[in-house]
Structure 1
Amino acid sequence: MSTGTPTRVKTLRLASPEETHSLGVRLGKLLQPGDFVGLIGDLGAGKTHLVRGVAEGAEVPRSEVASPTFAIVYPYSGRIPLYHADLYRLTNYDDLYSTGLLDMVETGDGASLVEWLDRIPEAAPREFLRVTLRHAGADARELTAEAFGARPTALLEAWAPGA
């Protein structure tokens, strides 16, 4: 994960899981091949709500979207290929080789959504969007998005223009 300073940071307050999902839909409509979005947050922070929204926005059939906790990486077919990974069960960078995630990211033919990026931060490419979700009440969440690089900054500006 980039240890440098983000090129742009935005923080949003989301009042409900539905708002988190809707924000994900907006992001999914904007993703392009090569985009990498790393998701960070405690259990129940809203990562799955956001990912399901992103998949919907990327035109992935709802029936295809599953939690990759046991498979580690799920490829989805939609408007663009979407690779959904969950690093929760991995312990180090070497564990990534067997998942195929690094190859998928390197080819750049699809967008990548990687949950629990904080567990293996070096899985992120040089340019990426880091999204951190935190509990901010019963159903409310605080989302902080940090862009590292030109394309992630443009993506963040288009995704959350008023924030």
Structure 2
Amino acid sequence: MNPLEIEIHSLTDTDRLGQALAATLPAGTTISLIGTLGAGKTRLVQAVAAALGTPREDVTSPTFVLLNEYTSGTRPVYHFDAYRLKDDDEFLNLGPDEYFEGVGLTFVEWGDLVANCLPSNTVRITIEPTDGESRHVTITGLPPEDAAALKASLGQPGA
């Protein structure tokens, strides 16, 4: 499972990536989002949720509430934020297993802080700001068929 490298140059590109992820990732996928403050982690979750039918404006960062659930779309989106948690036990007390095993997509912002608590097949998305709205995105942990489908939906070579 080689990493998938994607260059994003605008918010429209982020929306396209969100649409592609919504179309590609199977139900029950857990996604660890990694990046600095302001890298675009919540924006990517907004794009995925919008592609699944949840109004973008309903999707907010769960920094202070720790978990938001969006169930108005065609598939649920569960959105955790581990930034303010003290340790793995605090994350586990949120009951993430029921979400990991559910029919939705589970996003964990700052997933690297609770990596030991995430399923072994977690997809990892690292977002690195490069300039203005531009981002370098690295996706690891996708099964080959999902990586190929994602590349194809983004119009990337090697699909």
Q: TM-score, normalised by structure 1?
A: 0.85
The answer to whether the 8 Å contact 1:91/1:120 transfers is no
Asked if residue 135 in structure 1 is aligned to residue 126 in structure 2, the reply is no
Question: Number of paired residues?
Answer: 153
Q: Deviations over 1:92-140 (max 9, x none)?
A: 11011322223211x3322111111111111321112100010111221
- Counterparts of 1:29 and 1:81, CA distance in 2: 13
Amino acid at match of 1:115: E
Alpha-carbon distance, 1:63 to partner: 4.2
Question: Structure 1 residue 115 and structure 2 residue 106: aligned?
Answer: no
2:150 is the alignment partner of 1:155: no
User: Aligned partner of 1:80: which letter?
Assistant: R
Which amino acid in 1 is paired with 2:146?
A: L
| From 8, 27, 47, the counterpart of 1:14 | 8
Q: How many angstroms apart in 2 are the aligned matches of 1:31 and 1:79? A: 13
Residue in 1 aligned with 2:92? 97
Checking the alignment, whether the CA contact within 8 Å between 1:117 and 1:123 is kept in structure 2 is no
Query: Within 2, Cα distance between the matches of 1:93 and 1:47?
Result: 21
The alignment status of 1:59 with 2:53, answered yes or no, reads yes
Asked if the contact 2:6–2:137 (Cα under 8 Å) also holds between the matched residues in 1, the reply is yes
Q: Which residue of 1 aligns with 2:120?
A: 126
Aligned-partner SS, 2:99: helix
CA offsets, 1:62-115, max 9 Å, x none?
A: 34312111111111112112111111111211011322223211x332211111
Provide the TM-score with structure 2 as the length reference: 0.87
Equivalents in 2 of 1:93, 1:103: separation in Å?
16
Gap regions ≥5 residues in structure 2: none
1:13/1:62 CA distance change after superposition, 3 Å:
closer
RMSD: 1.7
Deviation, structure 1 residue 51: 1.0
The alignment-based identity, stated in percent, is: 33
For residues 154 and 71 of structure 1, what CA distance do their matches in structure 2 show?
A: 35
Matched, 1:82 2:102: no
Aligned-pair CA distance for 1:22: 2.1
